[in-house]
Chain A
């Protein structure tokens, strides 16, 4: 679906006051976007459930509550475009077009997973679809995204790179170095900061000198904006504008997408740093509920259509988990395969 979205539609007469998404996308594109948001939510729930059942080794970082940010940001991208992702990267991977069964297979450590069971949740990637990978290092993907944009500019591929990172990464040196280089070289990259308010337990208020992370764009002479990250249309609009600018050779932008993770930082989080009230306030701003309402209000989907979509997605996730579980395990004798291109090295 994303391929058709390269050029947003021109608003029809009388639509000027409608949300960007309604003005710009076809009903089918909007239905597909809602479907992806559901798919991410059910994927995360399926992953959590699998973890509880002991099917997943290690830890993981769930993005429940942040679905509009991932799907909205990827609307302007084609398979030729790249993303770099974060430790909370399942949603980005789905939004960029990954097969959820291959994702589950990776989480289950299977040879049939995206990384052949070598990476797991924290390194999930789908290079063919342009996802250069989640990253276990906060800020690790920022310079890499700038490098991908440098390749696009030099090799004239036309690709834009969307660099996802969290509020925590904005205090890493890599953030500042990456934004500066992207700006001086006018590279086609869009920095999307998913500000979910906490870097593990430390709030942005306690960790970050500026009130708005978007203000940091000023230091690197690029446009900066803050959007409601739980509003699909607002995210899509901001990223669309930034992607167009990047494609036109005008350089990078910084977008701060204000959102919230419903779950803890990782599986070890006891939520000691935030209140139940705060969590429930944010759960009322559910990005999926808001998107569903948008589509209902605009008669794009009925209540029944949405219920049917949910059922379909649930079945897809159940099937994906089943298929993933039956995949082959890697051979222990291949434990060090893929360290080098030449296995003998």
Chain B
């Protein structure tokens, strides 16, 4: 059995970064229209070594280093997407999206609509996001909610290597602009990744752990923290269901509402700033639906502090939800009825 496992591709382990690279490799090999663009993605291999050695396999014409011109580079990707290419544009850090918002929000998101469907923008933008690397306030943000507020964009946050590959392949094949927020802390995380081509559907959440007592809706790195908390809670006879939202826009309403109807309790855990963040939308979605009638307690949100990300490692940890925060919130939420 162990001998078989070694060659059984269904148990093949790749890191999150390797899984993303494999998706790009598959897309580049399958479709001449696919190109990669970004800062230092060629011989350097990308700031986080995600593109790695792809430039050696596909050449500089298809794995294009751009100048440090986020606005212009994103705009070139948009124009290329409108005219037949399938660009995958890597931002070095998601924070740098602020330099390119014009092209993303005013152009990419709106071209199809403004032109009455006469053109489309099948561009993918990849954003290394999140805190935990000591990179301080301008290299650590979780900005997915900005993009989730823009009709015309699709926004995904894979939390596992398998989904990182499947969602990227789905994004490349999608006719509309897809923004992928990849958590930097996850890049080295290993997980099972199927061989070859497959897609993970955009707009579908995944139930990572089934449970009866409370629903934890989490995104990205917070999924792993929520699962860790859920394991501890299980020892305390609290049975938490953990939902990995995976897509911020369009949000998987059905999976979230079905879970809340079952458990009657909702805890949202996300790294972005709490106010007006992803969890606010999840909460409102539940509050506006029939699932509200199933709630046995007020909804609780755990999000990032109302603060930029600090440099000091202890402070950095303090401003985003950690496992003990999730445990405390879950215990209070489940308290008295379990």
A145 and B66 CA atoms in complex are apart in Å by 16
Query: Within residues 181 to 226 of chain B, which ones have a CB less than 8 A from any CB in chain A?
Result: 203
Given contacts A114-B118, A181-B72, A340-B152, contact A132 B112 (CB under 8 A): no
Do the beta carbons of B76 and A345 come within 8 Å of each other?
no
Is A223 part of the contact surface with B, judged by Cβ < 8 Å? no
Do residues B118 and A127 form an inter-chain contact, with CB atoms below 8 A? yes
- Indicate which residue in B84, B118, B175 contacts A115 across the interface (CB closer than 8 Å): B118
A269 adjacent to chain B (CB < 8 Å)? no
Nearest-neighbor residue (CB-CB) of A187 within chain B:
B76
B151 within 8 A of A: yes
Which one of A145, A148, A180, A341 contacts B112 once the chains associate, using CB atoms below 8 Å?
A341
Alpha-carbon distance between A115 and B117 when the two chains are bound, in angstroms: 7
Whether B114 contacts A132 by the Cβ 8 Å rule is no
Per-position contact with B for A153-164: 1 when CB-CB < 8 Å, else 0? 011010000000
Q: Which of A122-153 contact B (CB under 8 A)?
A: 123, 125, 127-128, 132-133, 135-137, 140, 142-152
Using a Cβ–Cβ cut-off of 8 Å, how many residues does chain B contribute to the interface with A?
Answer: 44
Determine if B28 is an interface residue (Cβ-Cβ < 8 Å). Answer: no
Please pick, from A117, A127, A151, A152, the residue contacting B119 in the complex, using a CB distance under 8 A: A127
The answer to whether residues A114 and B75 also contact, given A143-B103, A155-B84, A340-B152 and a CB cut-off of 8 A, is: no
Interface string of A99-135 (1 = CB under 8 A from B): 0000000000000011111110001010110001101
Chain A contacts of B119 at CB under 8 A?
125, 127, 132-133
Give B70's nearest chain A residue, CB to CB: A177
Give B77's nearest chain A residue, CB to CB: A147
- A153 to B: closest C-beta gap in Å: 9
Are A341 and B152 CB-contacts (below 8 A) given A146-B79, A147-B76?
A: no
A341 contacts B77, C-beta separation under 8 Å: no
Complex: chain B residue closest to A122, CB-CB: B114
Judged by a CB distance under 8 angstroms, whether B336 is at the interface is no
A82: Cβ under 8 A from any B Cβ:
yes
Given known pairs A155-B33, A181-B67, A341-B120, the reply for A143 and B175 (CB within 8 Å) is: no
Within the complex, the shortest CB–CB distance from B189 to chain A, in Å, comes to: 29
Whether A300 sits at the interface, judged by CB under 8 Å, is: no
**B282 within 8 A of partner (CB):** no
A contact residues around B84 at 8 Å (CB): 151, 155, 157
- Nearest-CB distance from A256 to chain B (Å)? 20
A137, A144, A181: residue with the most chain B Cβ atoms closer than 10 Å: A144
B167 to chain A, nearest CB (A): 15
- For B298, the chain A residues whose CB sits under 8 A away are none
Q: Is the CB of A345 within 8 A of B250?
A: yes
Answer whether A180 and B67 are a contact pair too, CB < 8 Å, given A118-B114, A339-B113. yes
Q: Is residue B307 contacting chain A, with contact meaning CB distance below 8 A?
A: no
The distance in angstroms between the C-alpha atoms of A157 and B152, with both chains bound, is 28
Residues of B within 8 A of A118 (CB): 113-116
Q: Output the nearest chain B residue to A135 by Cβ-Cβ distance.
A: B107
Q: Is A55 an interface residue (CB 8 A)?
A: no
Which of B35, B66, B84, B119 has most A Cβ within 10 Å? B84
B82→A154 contact, CB < 8 A:
no
Say yes or no: B115 contacts A184, CB within 8 Å: no
- Contact yes or no, A339 B76, CB < 8 A: no
A128: B residues at CB distance < 8 A: 118
Q: Which residues of A contact B80 (CB under 8 A)?
A: 147-148, 150-151, 154
Q: What is the minimal beta-carbon distance from B124 to any residue of chain A, in angstroms?
A: 14
Say whether B337 faces chain A, with CB atoms less than 8 Å apart: no
Q: Give B72's nearest chain A residue, CB to CB.
A: A177
Complex Cα spacing A142 to B103, Å = 10
- In chain B, positions 29-76 with a C-beta closer than 8 Å to chain A are 33, 35, 61, 66-67, 69, 71-76
Q: In the assembly, what is the distance between CA of A115 and CA of B115, in Å?
A: 4
Known: A125-B115, A150-B85. A143 touches B61 (CB 8 A): no
Asked if A234 lies at the interface with its beta carbon under 8 angstroms from chain B, I say: no
A14 at the interface (CB under 8 A from B): no
Which residue, B76, B78, B113, has most C-beta atoms of chain A within 10 A? B76
Which residues in chain B, 146-183, are within 8 Å of chain A measured between CB atoms?
151-152, 154, 174-176
Cα distance A145–B80 when bound, in Å? 8
- A147 — nearest CB in chain B belongs to which residue? B79
Instruction: Give A174 to B79 CA distance when docked, in angstroms.
Output: 13
A114 to B120, CA, bound (A): 15
Q: Is the CB of B71 within 8 A of A177?
A: yes
Partner of A116, one of B67, B72, B116: B116
Give the docked Cα–Cα distance between A198 and B338 (Å).
Answer: 71
Q: Which residues of B contact A177 (CB under 8 A)?
A: 67, 69, 71-73, 75
Question: In the complex, which of the residues B85, B118, B154 contacts A154, with contact meaning CB atoms closer than 8 Å?
Answer: B85
- Residue numbers in B under 8 Å from A119 (CB-CB): 114-116
Q: Contact check, B175 vs A341: say whether CB atoms are below 8 A apart.
A: yes
In the complex where A123-B115, A125-B115, A338-B112 touch, is A132 in contact with B69 (Cβ < 8 A)? no
Other than the given A144-B103, A177-B73, 8 more pairs (CB < 8 A) read: A115-B115, A132-B79, A140-B102, A140-B103, A144-B79, A146-B79, A154-B85, A340-B152
Q: Pick 17 A–B contacts, CB within 8 A, sort by A.
A: A82-B83, A127-B119, A132-B83, A133-B111, A144-B76, A147-B77, A147-B78, A147-B79, A147-B81, A147-B83, A150-B79, A150-B85, A151-B79, A151-B85, A178-B75, A180-B67, A338-B112
